[in-house]
Structure 1
């Protein structure tokens, strides 16, 4: 079998398997609740793998290695070390309380959770609308996947965008959360295998001396704080912002709502272990940035580092062409594993938290959820049609603003065991979002993680001050203590 025939056979088999899993998911999806979070009958290990695959998407597998390629060890520490600690801390701190309150309020989305916790429809509507900033991450994934498709098939990037969109949306339209979970499990296993192989395959470039190899590129490239970098140049930009923003990113709708898939609190331990272990393996993909730099791979665009490295390593030998097919499909799967999760979360929010409260008559939520998916897809392709030079930073501007706005409402909602005045939550959310956008877009803070971290600190100061100034029995629901 020639490499060309093998490529189409493997792609066809992968697509058929994904559609079969989606069909199985469709058979179990009979309501908006089932479409949004499933029927609480999935094993915690399955949910953990699903979540790890959602977290470690095109950003980890395709885009972020480009930052490592450009900025060296400091970028790796930012994403791989500080970020991993932020993920672990977020789930240890938030999972139990978020699940408990979500079950009490029968919440399907984060805005519904916000409404139950604070009993304020305007606040939940605000969060439903700002969660639409997740569309910037949809753009990142679409661009990253289209770059991979152009390396696999003789098509231009715009055609690749449409192909990716049609494939992902078609299988998510079928099965919702079950399609997302089942396909993510398949894709997560593929991602684990490819990550391990690529990590071992490229280790030769260090020649037994990790730091020495990096210093051959430059002293700053091998430094934990790269003074030549405009993004990762000191302890705050590398470690503090990496930890804080990744902690906050776990509050995104397509991530934290995975907690609501769990059957009960008894599943939390297995869920966290599987998420952290699998996610930690995925971060090894960042090493490709080092490998590409040490291999002398030249790229026109930082976002194309992974594609060019794989073509350099695997495209010149017959057996490599076979391996390249499987690797590219797996990297595509990495993007799709997050894209489908975002799509399910966004459609659920639009239907449950925007259309539902504002509609004058009852609507068919399941049918509308699927139409919303189509609308999100069209908007995503329009934004990705002519992408910005660094799509990673473009996505961070929007998603990090959402994260900065979410920290106080969710963190305080879980940890503070008394009613919280709504004005405190409103103020902290607005400060988080506005401060991030102001610092990043107007005041020259180039790294979105740094601007978002400053904004989160400002929101936390406001929130803590508001709690100290408010009476212990402030106006609000009196029975929402997270302690049983």
Structure 2
């Protein structure tokens, strides 16, 4: 329970935060005249600003709010998995993919991931398939909404249901107007605040190191010896090297193939800006990924994972730690950083999802046969789509608040991992291979979706036999299967006929 002083100060700070955000939204809305302006902006952005926007979007409420809870529950194995192995794959992949993706995206004038894939392979049906598949990202939206609800309700002492309703109404409401023109600037401010908060969280437990690293480890081991082991065989996510190392690196490599991450490069107006953009994003991102280590401090603060006799869930660990351990001033700063971590990614998801549904599903269906001189109300339709996404987000978020499967993180990973597992081969081949038959990316995408959901829901492999299943295992197997199938088909097709045909795509 937050003190009255924290509650009052929290309301003041939230109000100021919203006023600042709305100022940027209004400023951006004035420059948003079309769906293209909403998707990639009409303003020339600084590469540093876009890099900070990338870091803010790539690091979400999962990294700052949810994942530290896993570390508090399962210890060092969670840090190795989520702060070292996954970022290793993700950041290397980001560098490799960005320049090629931007080059192709600029050439075909793509606004969304689905458009990029459809134009690259010259197939509208394939684009539509990915547009519908992108709806899986609503699970990530739910994760962020739940994370924000936990933090805000803890700070303001408000009921979770009403807090969730306010979050969805406000954030989805202002995202109906600004789009990319305002999002880059709000993300930049959010990233700067997140940098400060990351440093505060990572240094908040320095007192525990008075006797060195060994002394810190001894404190954790006294609570539970498994907390200091690199593998935690009693956890549902970090049991062995396959889960902690292999799966996380594979998932990390493919994780950049999400619309709100990889399409950030399309905001850059010049190819010369790419290096500054990448350096800024990667340096800041490394700091953000290590924030999960604060979960160890939280476990020392709550050794039995309870507060006032009640068990603290995975999703509520970090907010409980902040409210109990920090002064009002520092606690407010940290909470605003946690909120920024969620809002920054939520804005990116709303922008990319609504643009995809509008431009790649609704407009091609309902305005396919319009006359050239008949204007299409693109921006208005996009706003209606955002209203629909808000209703879906509230419904699923409410369910996760009432009955989570250990953590909303599991729910989100299952949907998001399925999406980027399917997107990996189309992006990989579309970026780096010049002559690709359509069957190659199609087979790869379908294989990934089928394998992922078959492994997860069919409880295939020994890793899927527990009550809580690890979506990372399903995703890693899906990605590997997709790569093998696609390479095999590509090799067979090239052997049979090296000559391009009408279903061959040339970069």
Same fold? TM cut 0.5: yes
- The match for 1:386 among 391, 399, 413 is 399
CA contact (8 A) 1:22 1:182 kept: no
CA contact (8 A) 2:187 2:344 kept: yes
Q: Which residue of 1 aligns with 2:46?
A: 43
Q: Secondary structure at the match of 1:96?
A: helix
Separation (CA, whole Å) in 1 of partners of 2:471 and 2:58: 18
Matches within 5 A, 1:194-233: 194-207=197-210, 208-209=212-213, 210-233=216-239
Q: Secondary structure at the match of 1:174?
A: coil
CA contact (8 A) 1:119 1:476 kept: no
Separation (CA, whole Å) in 2 of partners of 1:2 and 1:249: 41
Aligned residues: 475
Q: Which residue of 2 aligns with 1:182?
A: 185
User: Does residue 252 of structure 2 align to residue 252 of structure 1?
Assistant: no
Separation (CA, whole Å) in 1 of partners of 2:236 and 2:197: 32
Q: Which residue of 2 aligns with 1:237?
A: 243
Matches within 5 A, 1:93-242: 93-207=96-210, 208-209=212-213, 210-242=216-248
- For each residue in 1:334-360, what CA deviation from the matched residue of structure 2 results, as whole angstroms up to 9, or x when unmatched? 111011100000111011111122224
Separation (CA, whole Å) in 2 of partners of 1:476 and 1:240: 39
- For each residue in 1:166-207, what CA deviation from the matched residue of structure 2 results, as whole angstroms up to 9, or x when unmatched? 221122112011222111111111111111012112222244
Q: Secondary structure at the match of 1:473?
A: coil
- The match for 1:305 among 297, 301, 317 is 317
TM-score (norm 2): 0.90
Q: Which residue of 2 aligns with 1:279?
A: 285
User: Does residue 479 of structure 2 align to residue 473 of structure 1?
Assistant: no
- The match for 2:354 among 347, 360, 384 is 347
Matches within 5 A, 1:10-29: 10-29=13-32
User: Does residue 427 of structure 2 align to residue 410 of structure 1?
Assistant: yes
| Structure 2: gaps of 5 or more residues | 371-375
Change (3 A) 1:478 1:458: closer
Change (3 A) 1:68 1:322: same
* Greater mean alpha carbon deviation, residues 137-146 or residues 444-453: 444-453
- The match for 1:460 among 483, 486, 494 is 483
Q: Secondary structure at the match of 1:385?
A: helix
Q: CA deviation at 1:4?
A: 4.7
Q: Which residue of 2 aligns with 1:317?
A: none
Q: CA deviation at 1:323?
A: 2.3
Q: CA RMSD in A?
A: 1.7
Q: Secondary structure at the match of 1:228?
A: coil
Change (3 A) 1:7 1:255: same
* Greater mean alpha carbon deviation, residues 231-240 or residues 322-331: 322-331
Q: Which residue of 2 aligns with 1:436?
A: 452
Separation (CA, whole Å) in 2 of partners of 1:411 and 1:96: 12
Q: Secondary structure at the match of 1:463?
A: helix
Change (3 A) 1:117 1:308: same
- The match for 1:365 among 370, 373, 378 is 378
Q: Secondary structure at the match of 1:340?
A: helix
| Structure 1: gaps of 5 or more residues | 315-319
Matches within 5 A, 1:286-301: 286-296=292-302, 297-298=305-306, 299-301=311-313
Q: CA deviation at 1:220?
A: 2.6
Separation (CA, whole Å) in 2 of partners of 1:432 and 1:479: 22
TM-score (norm 1): 0.95
CA contact (8 A) 1:172 1:179 kept: no
CA contact (8 A) 1:436 1:452 kept: yes
Separation (CA, whole Å) in 2 of partners of 1:474 and 1:269: 34
Q: CA deviation at 1:477?
A: 6.8
Q: Secondary structure at the match of 2:231?
A: coil
Change (3 A) 1:476 1:85: farther
Q: CA deviation at 1:326?
A: 2.5
Q: CA deviation at 1:215?
A: 2.7
Separation (CA, whole Å) in 2 of partners of 1:178 and 1:274: 20
Separation (CA, whole Å) in 1 of partners of 2:209 and 2:316: 22
Q: Secondary structure at the match of 1:282?
A: helix
CA contact (8 A) 1:35 1:175 kept: yes
* Greater mean alpha carbon deviation, residues 112-121 or residues 383-392: 383-392
Q: CA deviation at 1:475?
A: 2.8
